[in-house]
Amino acid sequence: MSDTTNIMTRSSERAGSAYNGYVMLAVLAVVTAAVLFVILGAVPESGATKPEKLAFVGTIALGIIVVLIGSIGFFMIQPNQAAVITLFGEYRGTVRDEGLQWVWPWMIKKKVSVRAHNIHSEKVKINDLRGNPIEVACNVVWRVSDSAQAVFDVDDYKEFVNIQIEAGLRTVGARHPYDDMSDEDETTLRGSADIVNAELREELNERLIVAGIIVDEAGLTHLAYAPEIAGAMLRRQQADAVIAARKKVVIGAVGMVEDALSKLSSDGIVELDDERRAAMVSNLMIVLCGDREAQPVVNAGTLYQ
């Protein structure tokens, strides 16, 4: 037996046909006037038989039904709105023309907003690339680009968008660390906002294309360590900052000491052997790298006594 895989047929929007509603409104007015004329002409006389009276009642009922059925076909299209038309379960096109429109009464009309929608997601707790629990949230601007896909290819396209935003946020958040704890220059959630936002937008577009949805803008609006590790990670960040500051101070001090020794030697101010040079380097490094002001010490002797 060969395995068969059922693949969902993807819908595609196409233009639907509708009549100008104002013209059809005039036609309906003419039909209504004609129905009234027929009804008034069919009024039975006082001595009419029962079948004649029933025929008159039937004429009135038929006229009312005709007018009501004709009225059902009217619908209004607002700017940036579309109406998906179906006939007995078959897709017959999408109407995007603004204003009053009319279709045959037995056609079903489902309106879809193609305006831009803005969603601010709830805070989601995920693990970053290094496994640290973090909280993230995002803001997404999306719109319907294909009304047929939005209506026929997913059950509820608005709920589908909400679920896929959370899934995409989890996927992108797990690709990168919260912060750079090493010397490597890597993409981080905190320090590479433009890159992360572009990845999130691309991820959401890939997920929502099945529903005919386009994401115009996506970006993180909240990013923080989870409360259970926030204190520890804050101390770690403070320690990293202190180490980085110390490193910069030491590098600067080494350069200053090197310049000082070179200047003393080139100007012939003092001749330093290796031991005196080492002692001066030690003293200068203590002065330049110390957290407190240096206390001068008067040396009455020499390094050798």
- Average pLDDT over every residue of 198-216: 94
Average pLDDT score, the chain: 80
Tokens for 102? 């009319």
Residue type, 219: G
Quick one: pLDDT band at residue 84, thresholds 50, 70, 90? very high
Distance CA 34, CA 44 (A): 18
User: How many CB atoms within 10 Å of residue 86?
Assistant: 16
User: What 3-state class would DSSP assign to 129?
Assistant: coil
**34 DSSP β-pair partners:** none
Q: Widest CA span of the chain, in angstroms? A: 150
Specify the 3-state DSSP secondary structure of 10: coil
How confident is the model at residue 165, as a pLDDT?
Answer: 93
DSSP conformational letter for 107: S
**pLDDT value, residue 2:** 46
Per DSSP bridges, beta strands 19-20 and 133-144 are: unpaired
> Which is nearest to 125 in space by CA: 170, 168, 60?
170
Confidence of residue 63 (pLDDT cuts 50, 70, 90): confident
pTM of full prediction above 0.85: no
> What burial class does residue 238 get, using C-beta atoms within 10 Å of its C-beta: 0-12 exposed, 13-18 middle, 19+ buried?
exposed
77: left (phi over 0), alpha (psi -120 to 50) or beta: beta
Give residue 4's pLDDT band: very low, low, confident or very high (50, 70, 90): very low
For the cut 70, the answer to whether the pLDDT of residue 67 exceeds it is: yes
| Position 244 pLDDT exceeds 50 | yes
Structure tokens at 205: 């577009």
Rounded to an integer, what distance in angstroms lies between the CA atom of residue 20 and that of residue 133?
A: 58
pLDDT at 294 over 60: no
- Exposed e or buried b per residue across 182-215, where buried means at least 16 C-beta atoms within 10 angstroms of its C-beta: eeeeeebbbeeeeebbebbbebbbebbebbbbeb
Hey, which bits of the chain come out as E strands? Answer: 19-20, 74-77, 81-87, 90-95, 99-102, 108-113, 117-120, 124-127, 133-144, 213-225
Structure confidence at residue 129 as a pLDDT band (50, 70, 90): confident
Q: Provide the pLDDT for residue 249.
A: 72
